[in-house]
Amino acid sequence: MTTNTTPQTDTAKTASAPAALLYAVIGGSLLTIVSAFLAWTWTADFPGDLTFYGSPAGLQYVTLAGAALTLVFALSALGVKGLGWLTPAGSRKAVWFLALGNAAATWFTVVAITVVLGGVINLEPGAYVALVGSLVPALAAYKLPDDTRKAAAPKAKLPSWAEILVITGVFALGLFVITFGIDTDDKEPQLFVAYLITVAFAALALNKSGLLARFSALTANNRQVTLIGTAAAAIAFPFIQQSGDTYTLIAVNILIFATVALGLNVVVGLAGLLDLGYVAFLGVGAYAAALVSGSTASAFGIHLPFWAAVIVGALASLVFGVVIGAPTLRLRGDYLAIVTLGFGEIFRIAMGNLDGDSGPDITNGPNGIPNIPHLELFGWNFGESHMVGGIELGAYANYYFLMLLVMALVVVVFSRAGNSRIGRAWVAIREDETAAEAMGINGFKVKLIAFALGATLAGLAGTVQAHVNSTVVPENYVFAGPVPPNSAFLLAAVILGGMGTIRGPILGAALLFLIPAKLAFLQDYQLLAFGIALILLMRFRPEGLIANKRAQLEFHDDTADQAPTDLATAKAGA
């Protein structure tokens, strides 16, 4: 018996320090969870009404979720049976990031209460419990020994039905998280900030724990299921909107923004052409569609069916793309950026001046083209709510579905064009134009195709945008402004999300639309904060939030050098 116990105590001793720290993390998390059920303040003046004992409310949900995640991951780190799958690539960083995120969100909440209500006097004991409870895990987890390791292959392959179940579950969860973010009240910027902090740290933690990598391997194995899941989650969004149409409109605008960003991604991400006036192509499409869609203010006074308006808008953008591209794409480097910047401004100012005073009366000048009638397709009026399966869908849900279709089309165009002879030619031009020409690529022609394709996709999105907004004004198409989409934000969405990827610009567009919309209180400081955020991102993750394989290897030389050498030595050894 004694011989048996000695080695056990030895291992217990060596493991005792991290175990104690982990118990501290667990204890702190539990305390935080308890605190979420206590009142944090005595008055309902603070948004979200955190005055209840016995049930969480508003911001406390965020703290609760963060603490629960920390708890689960700490238990996994402790080696609790059945939770090991959570941390295939090491638990320390995951636990630490989660604890840190939870502490940041909780402390932010408490500080916000103090500032908004004016003084610490407004805090109830529950808030102090939360402060302590969230701080302890963050400090304890920092001291944990680093156990980062290469994720081992999963021991047993899940049966395919289980894989599908996992994917479905994750998509449902993702849909819930995104919906929560979009549906936060604009009057409660604190909730959105806390939500953003928690989600950002949780995403980082999941990435570090190796769980994201495992999940993406799973989705790669089940591409059909993943595609259907993505589509289902996207379609489900309007159906789970309880508070009417408001947030569906935000989603529609995100989709428009993301679609245009994807179009820009062809130009910037694949072909490497810096286009600083891209929003003008969106404007060309919107104006063209508005002029032929029966608006009372239209100079033409014709009302084409929607499909015809789409073709007119896309073709108009295509023509403008070729007209702008043909003379400038023969040049290299920054000339294109300057010319496109100029074109963007010329377009906006020209639209403002074509009002009959200083030019022909086509666009109604700065007043724009109002009263664009709602779409009607197959007897389905887009301006009205409809009952689908017993759930009332607001008017914007129609446009939401239409925009989903347009975006799906753009995604297909992007992935198919990118992964082909022409797409390789674009990347080759981006990499080294001289070498590409020497390999037989007609640089000018190939670049013009990329430019024209990008313009056409933007024009396509513009035709829908004209109908969604029901009015088209020149001020929507500026180079930089607080409201996306504008050229600067489009470019930022592509770069922030990750150039050359599909998910990247979509994520970037969603963030860049939601953050200004939800944090309206920042007002004039929005652009400043935006600039700082971009600088920080370029410093710490230059390849964007979602890196494509190439960029990941490009910017992180350590990993880039490592992998092939490992391979080479492995091969030599074998």
Partner 1 sequence: MNTMTTTTDTTTKTTVLEAKGVTMRFGGLTAVKGVDLQVNAGEIVGLIGPNGAGKTTFFNCLTGLYVPTEGSVTYKGTVLPPKPHKVTEAGIARTFQNIRLFHNMTVLENVLVGRHTRTKEGLWSALLRGPGFKKAEAASEARAMELLEFIGLEHKADHLAKNLPYGEQRKLEIARALASDPGLILLDEPTAGMNPQETRAAEELIFAIRDKGIAVLVIEHDMRFIFNLCDRVACLVQGEKLIEGTASEVQGDERVIAAYLGTPFEGEPGAAEVAEVEAAEAHAEAEAEAAAEPEAAAETETETEAEAADEDEAPATDADAEADADTDADSTTSTTSTEGEAK
Instruction: Note the residues at the interface with partner 1 (CB under 8 A).
Output: 412-413, 416-417, 420-425, 427-428, 431-432, 434-443, 449, 453, 550-551, 553-554, 560-561, 563-564, 567, 571
Amino acid at residue number 309: A
Closer residue to partner 1, CB minimum distance, 369 or 446: 446
Using DSSP's 3-state secondary structure scheme, residue 466 falls into helix
CA distance 324 to 340: 8
Among 332, 335, 285, which residue's Cα sits nearest to residue 447? Answer: 332
Cα torsion through 558, 563, 568, 573, rounded to 10? 110
- Tokens describing residue 369: 């083209």
- We find the least distance from the C-beta atom of residue 249 to partner 1, in angstroms, to be 31
Identify which of 529, 516, 497, 567 has the alpha carbon closest to the alpha carbon of residue 250. 516
In this structure, the number of other CB atoms found within 10 A of the CB of residue 84 comes to 13
Minimum CB distance to partner 1 smaller for 313 or for 423: 423
Closest approach of partner 1 to the CB of residue 92, in Å: 30
Least separation in angstroms between residue 450's CB and partner 1 is 9
Least Å distance, CB 426 to partner 1, is: 10
Q: How many residues does the chain have?
A: 574
Query: Smaller CB distance to partner 1: residue 273 or 449?
Result: 449
How far is residue 393's CA from residue 388's CA, in Å, rounded to a whole number? 7
**Residue 478 in contact with residue 352, Cβ under 8 Å?**
no
Nearer to partner 1 (CB atom), residue 173 or residue 412: 412
Count helices and strands in the chain by DSSP H and E runs: 21, 4
Q: Which is nearer to partner 1, 283 or 418 (CB)?
A: 418
Least Å from the CB of residue 506 to partner 1: 20
| DSSP H or E run through 386 | strand 386-388
- Nearer CB in complex with partner 1: 44/326: 326
Our CB check for partner 1 shows the closer of 408 and 553 to be 553
Give whichever of 164 and 314 is closer to partner 1, judged by the CB atom.
314
- Nearest distance, CB of residue 436 and partner 1, angstroms: 7
Number of Cβ atoms within 10 Å of the Cβ of 26: 22
What is the closest distance, in whole angstroms, from the C-beta atom of residue 4 to partner 1 in the complex? 51
- The CB-of-422 to partner 1 minimum distance in angstroms stands at 5
Q: Count CA atoms closer than 13 A to 394's CA, side-chain side.
A: 18
Which residues lie across from 462 on neighbouring strands?
none
